[in-house]
Amino acid sequence: MEIVITPDPAAASRQAAAYLAALVRRNPGAVLGLATGSTPVALYRELIRLHREEQLSFSRCTTFNLDEYAGLAPGHPGSYRRFMDEHLFASIDIPASRIHIPDGLAADIPAHCAAYEQAIAGAGGIDAQILGLGSDGHIGFNEPTSSLASRTRIKTLTERTRADNARHFSSAQSVPQHVITMGIGTIMEARAIVLLAFGEKKAATVAAMVEGPVTALVPASVLQMHPVVKVMLDEPAASQLRRREYYRHVFDHKPAWQQW
Ligand code: GLP
């Protein structure tokens, strides 16, 4: 894991966007794995700026989102499809046919999940996966005790996650109980992973993910087993890392030839 401690979320978001932009310029047909939640919003804003002001085109990219609430129509204000349209897709040039988000209204959920896996494989796999971090250590919606080998499937949310996400709904009770999420095994097959986490509220979870044991109780800790992971933090999110001075030292002394 490469731990990058940045002055603030804006700096981390700019760096993450620069990484994605370089990937897309190198490979215009890149396959991007996208995340929802408050954390990547500034990253998406920066991608939109790069599209408008610096001719970054997504017209040949393919995207796969991590997850969606089961039972929500794409137009529902709480749905991740709506979130993505609002925060990214409506403002860039990606064709609708290249956008993939699990269908919250799928009639046959296991078949839909299998088809989602096939679509990822058919696109050649994910080149770069963006991740946020749930306060309980989840990635996508893989809650604690999810199999570290899991594939796209239905999951039941913890009450803590429902409470965390209640702000996107009219009331806590209207947050769906069930979701469709890429599995941890699916996420681990992405060729590169960029995880963003900001704020003191995430500090203990960040420390458990980076410096704790690999355990299904903290699903994000599995990223210790992935060869290409960047963890982009602000200072408060990094505050409980025991070795944070070492991570800074490594980053400051990175050989000039080493790519991001
Ligand atoms: C949701 C999403 C996750 C996201 C998490 C953190 O549960 N399914 O992908 O990482 O929220 O959200 P936030 O970025 O708002 O803290």
User: Is the distance from the beta carbon of residue 35 to the nearest atom of ligand 1 less than 6 Å?
Assistant: yes
CA distance 198 to 259: 24
| 224, two tokens | 């210790």
Q: Determine the residue type at 252.
A: D
Ligand 1 pocket check for 220: Cβ under 6 Å = no
Q: Beta strand 128-131 with 99-100: parallel, antiparallel or unpaired? A: unpaired
Please state the atom number of ligand 1 nearest to the C-alpha of residue 35: 9
Name residue 62's beta-bridge partners.
31
pLDDT of residue 133: 98
CB of residue 233 inside a 6 A radius of ligand 1: no
Which residue owns the Cα nearest ligand 1 atom 5? 134
Which atom, in ligand 1's list, is nearest to the CA of 131? 10
pLDDT at 258: 83
Give mean pLDDT in consecutive 10-residue pieces for the chain, a chain of 260 residues: 97 97 98 97 98 98 98 95 98 98 97 98 98 97 98 96 92 95 98 98 98 98 98 98 97 86
Transcribe 205-222 into DSSP letters. HHHHHHHS--BTTBGGGG
Atom of ligand 1 nearest to the CA of 201: 16
Sign of CA dihedral 228, 138, 220, 144: negative
Edge-to-edge order in the sheet of strand 153-156: 67-69, 178-181, 153-156
Ligand 1 pocket test, pick from 36, 175, 209 with the greatest ligand atom count within 8 Å of Cβ, gives 36
CA distance 232 to 64: 21
Residue 257: per-residue pLDDT: 87
Catalytic residues: 67, 136, 138, 143
Centre of ligand 1 to C-alpha 39, Å, is 7
Residue 258 Cα to ligand 1 midpoint, Å, equals 30
